[in-house]
């Protein structure tokens, strides 16, 4: 008899050392600083790739979930920072849609999403996407972001998702560069 297969999504143990779950985040800069710090710590601690994300309640600034890239340690090509944050937020809210309860939520990510994560953003129900580094920054170090272009972001906008880009790009791009310079694996290049 074959065992039932399952996948468990887990954040690294250090997350609670970095994340203040009780903090109310006042603005885009504070929220993005968290996403970038998550990406930086993920690299420094050797627990995954250089990408971090966080989901917040738009009106209160309350943190709902975080995600970091877990592709290599979990042997799971879908375990991108955005997807991990989305899955954990949906689990936290006990809903497959992050706006089913009428509350608007937003996804902050240290780098513009790849094709998979753009799809996940659309389907997740978030109403706002805020990005730091660009897909070109990720491509510059060797990551293949897939078929993402201006029409991808227009599609999100047409679906009612506000998109804000280039928030703290320099700090986020530095994490990408540091990852490459320190010999980080480009796992889909």
Please write the tens of the pLDDT for every residue from 17-66: 999 999 999 999 999 999 999 999 999 999 999 999 999 999 999 999 99
- Whether 146 is covered by a domain: the verdict is yes
Q: What pLDDT was estimated at residue 189?
A: 60
- Whether 52 is covered by a domain: the verdict is yes
Q: What pLDDT was estimated at residue 188?
A: 75
- CB-CB neighbours of 88 under 10 Å: 19
| Stated pTM of the model | 0.95
CATH of the domain at 168: 3.40.140.10
Task: Give the domain range for residue 56.
Answer: 23-181
Give the percent of the chain with pLDDT over 90. Answer: 90
Catalytic positions, written as ranges: 82
Please write the tens of the pLDDT for every residue from 132-159: 999 999 999 999 889 999 999 999 999 9
- Whether 71 is covered by a domain: the verdict is yes
- Whether 61 is covered by a domain: the verdict is yes
Angle subtended by helix axes 115-124 and 150-158, to nearest 10: 0
Q: What pLDDT was estimated at residue 21?
A: 96
The tally of domains found in the chain comes to 1
* Phi, psi (rounded to 5 degrees) for 66: -130, 160
- Whether 14 is covered by a domain: the verdict is no
- Whether 17 is covered by a domain: the verdict is no
Query: How many CA atoms lie less than 13 Å away from 93 in the CB half-sphere?
Result: 25
- Whether 2 is covered by a domain: the verdict is no
């Amino acid at each position: 008899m074959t065992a039932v297969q399952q996948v468990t999504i887990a954040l690294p143990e250090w997350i609670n050392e970095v994340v203040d779950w009780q903090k109310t985040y006042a603005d885009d800069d504070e929220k993005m600083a968290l996403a970038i710090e998550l990406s930086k710590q993920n690299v420094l601690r050797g627990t995954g790739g250089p990408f971090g994300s966080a989901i917040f309640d738009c009106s209160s600034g309350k943190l709902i979930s975080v995600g970091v890239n877990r592709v290599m340690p979990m042997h799971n090509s879908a375990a991108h920072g955005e997807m991990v944050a989305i899955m954990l937020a949906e689990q936290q809210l006990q809903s497959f849609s992050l706006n089913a309860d009428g509350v608007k939520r937003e996804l902050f990510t240290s780098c513009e999403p790849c094709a998979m994560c753009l799809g996940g953003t659309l389907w997740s129900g978030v109403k706002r996407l805020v990005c730091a580094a660009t897909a070109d920054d990720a491509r510059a170090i060797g990551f293949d972001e897939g078929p993402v272009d201006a029409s991808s972001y227009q599609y999100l906008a047409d679906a009612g998702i506000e998109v804000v880009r280039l928030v703290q790009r320099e700090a986020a791009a530095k994490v990408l560069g540091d990852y490459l310079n320190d010999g980080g694996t480009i796992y889909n290049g």
